[in-house]
Amino acid sequence: MKQNKNTSSNNSPRKASMQTYHFLRSLTHINLTRPSSPLHRRSRAIRRAAYVSMARAASPRRMWTRAILGRLQLLRRARLLRRRRNYKKKTTISTPHDKLRRLVPGGEEMDFCRLLEETADYAEFLSKQVRIMRSVVDFMEAECRKKEEKV
Amino acid sequence: MNCGTPSPDQLRPALGLSSFNWNQSMDSLSPIFPLPASGEISSFMGNPLNSMHVNRLMQFPADPGFAERAARYSCFSSANYGAFSGVSEAAGKPSRVSSGHCLKAKESRMQLEMGDGEFGSGKEDSSVTDPASVLGESSAKKRKAAAKRKLKVTVENDLIAKKSRSAESTEIEKDSGMPKEEQNVDEKKQGKDDGTKASEPFKDYIHVRARRGQATDSHSLAERVRREKISQRMKLLQDLVPGCNKITGKALMLDEIINYVQALQRQVEFLSMKLATVNPGLEFNLENLFAKESNEESPIPFTLANGIDTHCSIGQLDSILHQAALMQSSLDMFGSSASQVENLWDDELNTVLQSSFGQNQEIGAPSQSFHGQLSIPHMKIEL
């Protein structure tokens, strides 16, 4: 599951820092390639980069990981993995868990048990991502303020 | 007597297959672990051949974090081997099975203890079924296995753990449309403490013994198994979502979880918009940052619910980022406990990030090309 722009060896960073690494990398990529595109498009790209870096850092066995990466780029291998799994239960009955299913990517076709597992994993990575992004924003704002003070 | 690093061919006849597996596992593990540890590995390889295998293993963990990690990884694979001696060696199966184990290991610390006991033997046959994913799972699970899990009943864990292997076929067969059953968990749950007798299956299907005063037909057994699984997962989630210790009951818990995930997603979106405005030009020199082996981890323990892995010494940026505990404003309703830590680490975060920027100056070409694109004066980081 290698992306074209992430071919460098990511073996040494750990899983926690891999998320940071991926995200910062894609962030710089976005800023370098399109610094002048309109705001909403850039924010969409950044949001996509956030989810992708989450998915990259997590295990590819997870359903939500595959869903995100499949959504991103029709990645052949991820889709094969998704198809190969036998879906335990296809339910069309409306359950109280519908909301949760809609929230978690790839949550439509899991049974409740598995959905809870995936939610836990997803929430963990989401919170990590939020932390990363927030610290980056804070840092940048601090830098901005320093620059303005100097000027 | 070997001088220098003996090749695997030389080691293999002397020490048998076990050493070969060990070397193999070392090769697979060493790119993942930090460089000092792999340096130690190669020095150990140079030991004379007549040193005992066990001695080598005992000398091995000079780095205690490494030992811990190694124990966990070996425990996963050794647990696989011990439990699946009878299972056929179909190619797909070991990896599926190991993933099943890894999934359950999130909840069962019993496997971790097993790994500690079997450290010596586990090291030898820790093979390479799927090291990347096993390691990924295990490190993720390691973070989850906080101290709170010590209270879990190990028998229950055993039950759950062994069930992972009953290929989902048994669940499919006995799994009649279940949503209503989940609501009636409460009364059955009280039977839990009256002698949870879950026997240890060693075949492919589950042997579940019925508890006192409970129905014994196969359907209800399977249902109970499922319910226990679900309750375990809900407990997990309860640990994950901050401020949910008092909430009992699945419906309320579910609502909390949904709110939490929604809040997180909203935050991601908001922060991405903010990043888009603040950020027309920045460059992080990531390779240098992550290749550095300096240990600037803070000694202050990180007290959030998601015990972030502070063993990773690689990313200064990463460790500081995680410890700059930034669960603020919109998560206030969940009651964060780490906002005080944040103020302490702001300075450190700044210094670390500045060092990463400062490295940009040393690199001639990229930074210059980057500055060529900049047009916003106050964002120039040539410093």
Closest CB to A17 among B133, B229, B314: B314
- Is a pLDDT exceeding 70 seen at residue B160? no
Q: Which two tokens stand for residue B211?
A: 């508890």
* Rounded-to-integer distance, Cα B108 and Cα B113, Å: 9
Q: Taking the model in full, what pTM does it have?
A: 0.45
| pLDDT tens profile A5-45 | 444 444 445 555 788 888 888 887 777 776 677 777 888 88
Q: What Cα–Cα distance (Å) separates residue B363 from each residue in B187, B289, B382?
A: 67, 13, 11
B-facing residues of A in 16-75 (CB < 8 A) are 16-17, 20-21, 24-25, 27-28, 31-32, 35, 39, 42-44, 46-47, 50-51, 58-61
pLDDT confidence band for B219 (50 / 70 / 90): confident
Cα-to-chain-centroid distance, residue B170: 28
- Is a pLDDT exceeding 70 seen at residue B194? no
Phi/psi zone of residue B297: left (φ > 0), alpha (ψ -120 to 50 degrees), beta? beta
Check residue B217 and give its pLDDT: 85
| pLDDT tens profile B361-372 | 443 333 343 344
- Residue B277: how many other CB atoms lie within 10 Å: 12
Check residue B264 and give its pLDDT: 92
CB B23 within 8 Å of CB B15: no
| pLDDT tens profile B332-352 | 334 333 344 333 344 444 444
- Residue A39: how many other CB atoms lie within 10 Å: 10
CB A89 within 8 Å of CB A111: yes
User: Does residue A131 belong to the interface with chain B, where contact is any CB pair within 8 Å?
Assistant: yes
Check residue A18 and give its pLDDT: 80
Contacts of B381 in chain A (CB under 8 A): 143
The single residue listed with the structure tokens 């647990």 is: B79
- Is a pLDDT exceeding 80 seen at residue B19? no
Residues 6+ apart with CB under 8 A from B322: A16, A128, A131, B302, B308, B310
- Is a pLDDT exceeding 70 seen at residue B65? no
* Rounded-to-integer distance, Cα A51 and Cα A65, Å: 9
Closest CB to B258 among A14, A103, A138: A103
- Is a pLDDT exceeding 90 seen at residue B263? yes
- Is a pLDDT exceeding 60 seen at residue A97? yes
Q: Which two tokens stand for residue B269?
A: 């979106």
| pLDDT tens profile B266-292 | 999 999 888 888 766 555 555 545 554
* Rounded-to-integer distance, Cα B28 and Cα B41, Å: 12
* Rounded-to-integer distance, Cα A24 and Cα B315, Å: 12
Q: How far is A72 from chain B (nearest CA, A)?
A: 17
pLDDT confidence band for A146 (50 / 70 / 90): confident
The amino acid sitting at A10 is N
Whole-number average pLDDT of chain B: 52
Mean pLDDT of B326-336: 38
DSSP-H helix ranges across chain A: 15-33, 39-57, 63-73, 76-84, 98-103, 112-150
| pLDDT tens profile A105-131 | 887 878 888 888 888 999 999 999 999
User: In this complex, how many residue pairs, one in chain A and one in chain B, have their CB atoms less than 8 Å apart?
Assistant: 237
Residues 6+ apart with CB under 8 A from A24: A136, B284, B286, B317
- Is a pLDDT exceeding 70 seen at residue B48? no
Mean pLDDT of A63-78: 74
Question: Is residue A87 packed enough to be buried (19+ CB in 10 Å), middle (13-18) or exposed (0-12)?
Answer: middle
More confident residue, A81 or B293: A81
Closest CB to B257 among A119, A121, A138: A119
CB B243 within 8 Å of CB B327: no
N residues, chain B: 383
CB A115 within 8 Å of CB A97: yes
pLDDT confidence band for A89 (50 / 70 / 90): low
More confident residue, A67 or B93: A67
Q: Give the 3-state DSSP-derived string for chain B, with helices as H, strands as E and coil as C.
A: CCCCCCCHHHHHHHHHHHHHHHHHHHHHHCCCCCHHHHHHHHHHHCCCCCCCHHHHHHHCCCCHHHHHHHHHHHHHHHHHHHHCCCCCCCCHHHHHHHHHHHHHHCCCCHHHHHHHHCHHHHHHCCCCCCHHHHHHHHHHHHHHCCHHHHHCCHHHHHHHHHHCCCCCHHHHHHCCCCCCHHHHHHHHHHHHHCCCCCCCCCCCCCCCCCCCCCCCCHHHHHHHHHHHHHHHHHHHHHHHCCCCCCCCCHHHHHHHHHHHHHHHHHHHHHHHHHHHHHCCCCCCCHHHHHHCCCCCCCCCCCCCCCCCCCCCCCCHHHHHHHHCCCCCHHHHHHCCCCHHHHHHHHHHHHHHHHHHHHHHHHCHHHHHHHHHHCCCHHHCCCC
Q: By mean pLDDT, which of A23-27, B63-67, B127-131, B219-223 is the weakest?
A: B127-131
* Rounded-to-integer distance, Cα B62 and Cα B373, Å: 48
CB contact under 8 A, B265 and A12: no
* Rounded-to-integer distance, Cα B166 and Cα B203, Å: 8
A-interface mutation test, from B241, B259, B275, most A Cβ less than 10 A away: B275
Mean pLDDT of B31-58: 45
The amino acid sitting at B75 is C
pLDDT confidence band for A57 (50 / 70 / 90): confident
| pLDDT tens profile B225-249 | 998 998 888 888 888 888 888 877 8
pLDDT confidence band for B187 (50 / 70 / 90): very low
CB contact under 8 A, A134 and B308: no
- Residue B326: how many other CB atoms lie within 10 Å: 26
Q: By mean pLDDT, which of A65-79, B51-65, B220-234, B277-291 is the weakest?
A: B51-65
Residues 6+ apart with CB under 8 A from B331: B242, B263, B267
CB contact under 8 A, A16 and B318: yes
pLDDT confidence band for A88 (50 / 70 / 90): low
* Rounded-to-integer distance, Cα A38 and Cα B86, Å: 61
More confident residue, B293 or B101: B101
